C-alpha cells in the first residue's frame, strides 16, 4: 500500500511538471529543453524558504512560485528572441548553465553533496506535513490546483491568443497582439508553477542534489508531455501517469533489477519514436507538433 | 605553462572539429537535428572495445570494423526512422523528437549489454614527446594528425568532387536539387554514412586516450552543436573553426578557473552567440529563424 501511495505522489509531481510544460510546448509551440532547471530552482528555493526564512506552507508556495518565475524571466527574455532550433538550443544552454551552477556553487547549494534533512512544511505554522498520507493529500491538492488553473488559462482569451501564436504567429501579430509579451508570460507562468513540483519533491524526499534536475530530467519531462499529448489538459496528465506507471508495471513482468532501469528508458524511447510516426499529437493530445 | 594548455586545446579542438563537421554534414543539408548522433558517437567506442579488447583483434583492424559498424547503425537509423518521416513530409521538430527517442534506445541498449561503468581501451600510459616544456603523448599526436588529415581531405573532396558539389547544392537548396532530378534519398544515405564515419573516428581517438561510458555521447554532441553555432550554419569550414575555438576555450577555462566550469563557459558562449551573432562567425547575416 505504501508503495502505491508513493507512486501516486510521484505521479502528482509529474502531472504538475507536464501540465506546466504543455503550456509552452502544446499551446505556444515552444519546445523547451530547460524545464528541469526550474524544477530544481523550485526545490532549492524551498530549502531557502524553510531553513533561512522559516516560512509557513502558503508563504512557501508563493515564495517558490514568484521566485522561480522571476528567475525564469531572466531566461525568457533572451531565449524568446530566438525561434525554432535556436530557441531549443538556448533553453538547453540555460538548463546546463543552471545545472553547472547548482553543482559547482558549493558554498550555497552544497553542490554534489546535496542537501539532506530538509525540514517539513508547516501548516498554519505548527502542524508538520510529513509521512505518506499527508503528502498524498498535499500533492493531490496542489496538482488539482495547477490543473484547474491551467484549464482555465487554456480556455481563457489568453489561452486562445497562445493557440493563435502556435498556429499562425504572423496572423496574431497582424491583429495587433504583442506576441513576444505573450510568449514571455507563457514562459514565466509555466516555469513559476513548475517550481511547486520542486517544492513537493524537496520536502517529500527531504534530500536534494543537482543530479535530480539535469538534462536527462528535462528530456524526460518533455518526453512525458509529448507521449501523453499536447495542446489540452488531458494529454499531459495521461503522459505523466503513463511514464510513471508503465515502468512500474514492467517491474511485475519480471525483468531483473540490473536491467530494469535501462529497459524502462528503452520503452520511453520506443514509445516516442513510434508515436511521432503514427500519432504526432501524442496519446490524447490535440496539437500536432510543428 | 600556458603553451601546454594551448596545445592541449588545439588537439581537443581538432577532435571537436572533426565530429562537428560530421554533424554539420547532416544538419546543413537535411536540416535534421540529429540528436541520435550522440548515440552513434558512443556506439563507435563500444564497437572498438568489442573488437579490440574482447575479440583481441589488432588495433587498426578493430578501428576499421568499428567504423563500419557505426556507419551501418547510422544508415539503419536513417532508413528505419528518418526516411519514413521524411516521406510523410512531417515537420523537422517531429524528426528531432524521434531522433531523441532513437538516442535513448541506443544508449540504453548499450548500457544493458555492456554495463554503466567506464571502460578503458588502452590500460597503459601513453609514451610522450617533449618539446621544450610542452608534453605531447603519442595518442594526442595521432588524434591531431588523423583528424586534421581527414578534415583536409574532406575539404578538398567537398570542393572538387562531384559528390562535394552535390552536397553543397543540397545545402543551398534541397528542394531545387530535387527539381533538377538529384536522387535525394541516395544523397541522404551517403551523408549519413559519412557523418557516422567522422563520429566514429573521433570517438575511437578519444576512447583510446581516456576511456568511455554509455553517456559520453551527449556532452560531445553539445560541444559539437555549440561549435557549429559559433562557427556558423551553412559553410562547412564553420564547424571546423568552431571546434578549434571550443577546444581552446575549454583548455583555457581549465587554466584560468577549473575544469568544473567548462560546461558553463561553453554554454554562456553559445547564448552570447545566439543573441549577438546568430549567424555565427562565418555565416551570412540573416534573421535567426
The pairing of strands B134-137 and B128-131 is antiparallel
Nearest to B97 among A259, A263, A276 (CB): A276
Nearest to A277 among B85, B108, B289 (CB): B85
The maximal CA–CA distance of chain B, rounded, in angstroms, is: 60
What residues in A contact B263, CB-CB < 8 Å?
96-97, 100
Please, how many CA atoms are within 13 Å of residue A140, restricted to the half-sphere of its CB? Answer: 10
Report, in angstroms and rounded to the nearest whole number, the Rg of chain B calculated over CA atoms. Answer: 19
Cβ of residue A283 closer than 8 Å to a chain B Cβ? no
Q: Which residues 6+ apart lie within 8 Å of A54 measured at CB?
A: none
> B208: closest CA among B151, B115, B139, B111?
B139
Confidence of residue B288 (pLDDT cuts 50, 70, 90): very low
Cβ of residue B257 closer than 8 Å to a chain A Cβ? no
- Give the pLDDT of residue A144: 92
Nearest to A265 among B81, B108, B229 (CB): B108
pLDDT cut 90: percent of chain A above it: 24
The set of cell numbers assigned to B177 is 536539387
Nearest to B101 among A92, A104, A269 (CB): A269
> A209: closest CA among A113, A118, A99, A108?
A113
What residues in A contact B229, CB-CB < 8 Å?
89
Residue B150 in any domain: the answer is: yes
Chain A from 47 to 76: CB within 8 A of any B CB: none
Cβ of residue B169 closer than 8 Å to a chain A Cβ? no
Chain B from 109 to 168: CB within 8 A of any A CB: 109, 111-112
The pLDDT tens digits of the residues spanning B35-69 come to 999 999 999 999 999 888 888 888 889 999 999 99
- Give the pLDDT of residue B289: 41
Residue B79 in any domain: the answer is: yes
Residue spans per domain, chain A: 2-211
- Do the Cβ atoms of B264 and A101 come closer than 8 Å? yes
The total number of structural domains in chain B stands at 1
What residues in A contact B91, CB-CB < 8 Å?
289-290
Lowest pLDDT segment from B108-117, B120-129, B137-146, B233-242 = B120-129
Distance between CA atoms of residues B23 and B39, nearest Å: 12
What residues in B contact A37, CB-CB < 8 Å?
none
pLDDT value at B98 more than 70: yes
Confidence of residue B71 (pLDDT cuts 50, 70, 90): very high
Cβ of residue B272 closer than 8 Å to a chain A Cβ? no
- Give the pLDDT of residue B110: 92
- Give the pLDDT of residue B201: 93
Confidence of residue B287 (pLDDT cuts 50, 70, 90): very low
The minimum CA-CA distance between A97 and chain B, rounded to whole Å, is: 5
The pLDDT tens digits of the residues spanning B222-238 come to 999 999 989 888 888 88
Distance between CA atoms of residues A224 and A222, nearest Å: 5
- Do the Cβ atoms of B70 and B200 come closer than 8 Å? yes
Lowest pLDDT segment from A20-29, A213-222, B120-129 = B120-129
Distance between CA atoms of residues B148 and B221, nearest Å: 19
> A205: closest CA among A130, A99, A146, A257?
A130
* Beta carbons within 10 angstroms of residue B257's beta carbon: 13
- Do the Cβ atoms of B252 and B262 come closer than 8 Å? no
The pLDDT tens digits of the residues spanning A73-128 come to 988 888 888 887 888 888 988 898 888 888 888 777 887 888 887 787 777 766 77
Minimum Cα–Cα distance from B100: chain A residue: A269
pLDDT value at B200 more than 80: yes
The pLDDT tens digits of the residues spanning A237-252 come to 999 998 888 877 877 7
pLDDT value at B216 more than 80: yes
Q: Between chains, do B100 and A262 touch, taking CB under 8 Å as contact?
A: no
> B136: closest CA among B271, B21, B5, B17?
B5
Testing the interface with B: which of A34, A258, A272 to mutate, by most B Cβ within 10 A?
A: A272
- Give the pLDDT of residue B285: 59
Q: Between chains, do A86 and B288 touch, taking CB under 8 Å as contact?
A: yes
Q: Between chains, do A272 and B229 touch, taking CB under 8 Å as contact?
A: no
Cβ of residue A3 closer than 8 Å to a chain B Cβ? no
Coil, helix or strand at residue B122: coil
The set of cell numbers assigned to A245 is 506507471
Q: Given the C-alpha cell 538550443, which residue does it identify? A: A89
- List helix spans (H) across chain B: 2-30, 37-49, 59-77, 83-87, 92-114, 138-160, 162-172, 174-179, 184-210, 217-231, 237-256, 262-276
Lowest pLDDT segment from A12-21, A78-87, A184-193 = A78-87
* pTM (two decimals): 0.89
For residue B156, give its domain range: 22-215
Residue B273 in any domain: the answer is: no
What residues in A contact B90, CB-CB < 8 Å?
276, 280
The minimum CA-CA distance between B220 and chain A, rounded to whole Å, is: 13
> B62: closest CA among B209, B213, B200, B211?
B200
Amino acid at each position: 500500500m505504501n508503495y502505491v501511495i508513493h507512486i501516486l505522489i510521484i505521479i502528482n509531481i509529474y502531472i504538475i511538471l507536464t501540465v506546466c510544460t504543455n503550456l509552452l510546448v502544446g499551446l505556444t509551440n515552444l519546445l523547451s529543453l530547460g524545464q528541469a532547471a526550474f524544477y530544481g530552482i523550485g526545490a532549492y528555493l524551498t530549502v531557502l524558504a524553510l531553513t533561512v526564512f522559516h516560512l509557513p506552507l502558503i508563504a512557501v508556495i508563493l515564495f517558490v512560485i514568484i521566485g522561480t518565475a522571476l528567475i525564469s524571466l531572466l531566461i525568457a527574455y533572451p531565449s524568446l528572441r530566438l525561434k525554432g532550433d535556436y530557441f531549443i538550443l538556448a533553453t538547453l544552454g540555460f538548463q546546463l548553465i543552471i545545472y553547472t551552477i547548482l553543482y559547482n556553487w558549493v558554498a550555497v547549494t552544497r553542490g554534489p553533496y546535496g542537501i539532506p534533512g530538509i525540514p517539513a512544511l508547516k501548516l498554519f505554522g505548527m502542524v508538520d506535513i510529513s509521512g505518506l498520507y499527508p503528502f498524498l493529500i498535499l500533492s493531490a491538492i496542489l496538482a488539482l490546483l495547477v490543473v484547474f488553473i491551467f484549464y482555465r488559462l487554456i480556455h481563457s482569451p489568453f489561452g486562445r491568443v497562445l493557440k493563435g501564436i502556435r498556429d499562425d504567429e504572423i496572423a496574431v501579430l497582424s491583429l495587433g497582439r504583442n506576441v513576444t509579451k505573450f510568449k514571455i508570460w507563457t514562459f514565466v507562468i509555466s516555469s513559476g508553477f513548475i517550481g511547486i513540483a520542486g517544492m513537493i519533491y524537496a520536502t517529500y524526499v527531504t534530500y536534494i542534489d543537482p543530479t535530480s534536475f539535469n538534462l536527462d530530467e528535462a528530456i524526460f519531462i518533455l518526453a512525458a508531455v509529448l507521449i501523453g499529448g499536447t495542446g489540452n489538459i488531458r494529454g499531459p496528465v495521461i503522459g505523466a501517469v503513463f511514464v510513471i506507471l508503465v515502468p512500474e508495471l514492467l517491474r511485475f513482468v519480471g525483468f531483473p533489477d540490473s536491467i530494469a532501469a535501462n529497459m524502462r528508458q528503452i520503452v520511453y524511447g520506443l514509445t516516442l519514436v513510434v508515436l511521432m510516426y503514427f500519432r504526432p499529437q501524442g496519446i490524447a493530445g490535440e496539437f500536432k507538433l510543428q | 605553462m600556458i603553451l601546454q594548455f594551448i596545445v592541449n586545446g588545439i588537439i581537443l579542438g581538432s577532435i571537436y572539429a572533426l565530429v562537428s563537421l560530421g554533424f554539420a554534414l547532416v544538419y546543413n543539408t537535411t536540416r535534421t537535428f540529429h540528436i541520435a548522433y550522440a548515440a552513434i558517437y558512443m556506439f563507435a567506442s563500444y564497437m572498438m572495445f568489442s573488437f579490440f579488447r574482447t575479440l583481441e583483434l589488432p588495433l587498426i583492424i578493430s578501428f576499421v570494423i568499428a567504423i563500419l559498424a557505426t556507419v551501418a547503425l547510422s544508415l539503419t537509423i536513417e532508413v528505419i526512422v528518418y526516411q519514413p518521416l521524411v516521406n510523410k513530409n512531417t515537420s523537422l521538430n517531429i524528426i528531432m523528437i524521434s531522433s531523441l527517442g532513437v538516442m535513448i534506445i541506443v544508449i540504453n541498449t548499450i548500457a544493458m549489454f555492456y554495463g554503466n561503468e567506464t571502460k578503458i581501451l588502452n590500460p597503459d600510459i601513453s609514451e610522450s614527446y617533449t618539446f621544450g616544456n610542452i608534453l605531447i603523448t603519442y595518442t594526442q599526436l595521432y588524434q591531431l594528425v588523423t583528424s586534421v588529415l581527414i578534415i583536409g581531405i574532406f575539404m578538398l573532396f567537398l570542393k572538387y568532387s562531384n559528390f562535394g558539389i552535390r552536397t553543397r547544392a543540397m545545402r543551398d537548396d534541397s528542394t531545387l536539387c530535387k527539381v533538377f532530378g538529384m536522387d535525394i534519398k541516395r544523397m541522404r544515405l551517403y551523408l549519413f554514412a559519412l557523418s557516422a564515419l567522422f563520429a566514429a573516428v573521433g570517438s575511437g581517438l578519444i576512447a583510446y586516450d581516456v576511456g568511455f561510458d554509455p553517456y559520453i555521447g551527449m556532452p560531445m554532441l553539445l560541444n559539437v552543436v555549440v561549435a557549429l553555432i559559433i562557427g556558423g550554419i551553412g559553410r562547412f569550414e564553420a564547424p571546423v573553426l568552431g571546434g578549434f575555438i571550443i577546444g581552446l576555450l575549454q583548455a583555457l577555462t581549465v587554466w584560468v578557473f577549473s575544469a568544473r566550469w567548462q560546461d558553463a563557459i561553453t554554454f554562456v558562449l553559445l547564448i552570447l552567440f545566439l543573441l549577438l551573432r546568430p549567424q555565427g562567425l562565418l555565416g551570412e547575416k540573416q534573421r535567426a529563424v
